[in-house]
Amino acid sequence: MAFDAMFLKSITQEIKESAESGRIMKIHQPFPHELILYIRKNRENKRLLISAHPSYSRLQWTSDIPQNPAEPPMFCMLLRKHLEGAIIENIQQIPNERILIFEILSKDDIGEKRYVDLYIEIMGRHSNITLVDREKKTIIDCIKHLSPAQNSYRTLLPGAPYVLPPAGDKKDPFEVTREEFEAENFEVEVNLSKQLVGKFAGFSPLLAGEIVLRYQETNDLFQAFSSVVAETSRFLGENASPNEFTRAGKSDYYFMPLTSVSDRQTFPSLSALLDHFYSGKARRDRVHQMGHDLERMLSTEKAKNDLKLQKLEQTLERFGKSGSLSHHGRASHK
């Protein structure tokens, strides 16, 4: 996915600037997997979108104002109770992982200070948003629940201890030496991109593919690897170069230019890029989902009505036979 750990590292800098030390004024949940946090800092109000959607998981400032449901979902009401009026003290990323932590100073029911953490896991269909009691290290609630029967490693239910997703045994790409790199004995003829993703933390197929392309030009895999890692560092944060491009007939985006792409559209910020890229896709997906839900509802109602009609016809048939027998009985007594 384009929203990999490196992209998250870059957009985190964009978010920290306007969110750290900011106050959470309002919270909305316009869709089942999506939150909007209204944050005020230095007399400026901004909307932070946090999505745990299986296809569109992301974190960004947004200019969109989606319509909210008539009744806020339970998770939204719980977040309002714990977070409205609270201060975001710090935002940090788990190194080279797609996990962000909002460290928040809140207040309990009697006005005493209470520290909570909002864990945002941007992991495709495994994405989640979890509110955790920092002192107890237990889950207050999360946008998606996961029972022990569904996952034996971690339970995502209120009251359960919060456990980070398994990190795996991957190397930090920013720390690896040539000797360590070459000790991995990569098979350059066998799905090299997949091997790189499996060995280094934070790498997506998109970034690994860039390394493979440069290797084909230089025939020195570590040199290709090092050049991409160096450029990744250079374009992080305020030096990001947000761009959208089309490759192999498919639209994609990244926070830095890729040599495999020549025709790209640039944006003033990473959030502006994501607003442009996802707003149309998400809207079409929601319309499609609404149509699917309506079709399913109509199908269910039709099945119910067909069953009712069948029962009514059976009842009429029984009454018809009963009436015929009764008439026959009266005739025989005449």
Q: What is the pLDDT along the chain (334 residues), one digit of tens a residue?
A: 689 999 999 999 999 999 999 999 999 999 999 999 999 999 999 999 999 999 999 999 999 988 999 999 999 999 999 999 999 999 999 999 999 999 999 998 888 999 999 999 999 999 999 999 999 999 999 999 999 999 888 999 999 999 999 888 899 999 999 999 999 999 988 899 999 999 999 999 999 999 999 999 889 999 999 999 999 999 988 899 999 999 888 899 999 999 888 789 999 999 999 999 998 765 666 555 556 566 677 777 788 888 888 888 888 877 776 655 455 555 555 5
- Residue 248 exposed, middle or buried by CB count within 10 Å (0-12, 13-18, 19+): exposed
Q: Is-contact 124 1, C-beta < 8 A?
A: yes
Q: Is-contact 206 2, C-beta < 8 A?
A: yes
Q: Is-contact 6 87, C-beta < 8 A?
A: no
Give residue 3's pLDDT.
95
Nearest Cα neighbor of 259 from 220, 212, 221, 222 is 212
Q: Return all residues near 114 (Cβ < 8 A) that are at least 6 apart.
A: 82, 105, 106, 107, 108, 133
Give residue 328's pLDDT.
52
Structure tokens given for 70: 């008539």
The radius of gyration of the chain's CA atoms, rounded to the nearest angstrom, is 28
Nearest Cα neighbor of 13 from 257, 243, 233 is 233
Nearest Cα neighbor of 275 from 28, 11, 5 is 11
Ranges for all domains in the chain classified under CATH 2.30.310.10: 5-167
Chain center to CA of 70: 23
Q: Is-contact 93 9, C-beta < 8 A?
A: yes
3-class secondary structure per residue, 183-213: CCCCCCCCCHHHHHHHHECCCCHHHHHHHHH
Strands (E) in 10-150, as ranges, are 23-31, 34-41, 44-51, 58-61, 87-93, 99-107, 113-121, 128-133, 138-142
**CA–CA dist 220, 231 (Å, integer):** 17
**CA–CA dist 255, 240 (Å, integer):** 6
| Domain boundaries 5-167, corresponding CATH code | 2.30.310.10
**CA–CA dist 13, 31 (Å, integer):** 26
Amino acid at 219: N
Give residue 321's pLDDT.
62
* Angle between helices 5-19 and 270-332 in degrees, nearest 10: 100
Three-state DSSP at 181 gives helix
Give residue 325's pLDDT.
47
Give residue 185's pLDDT.
93
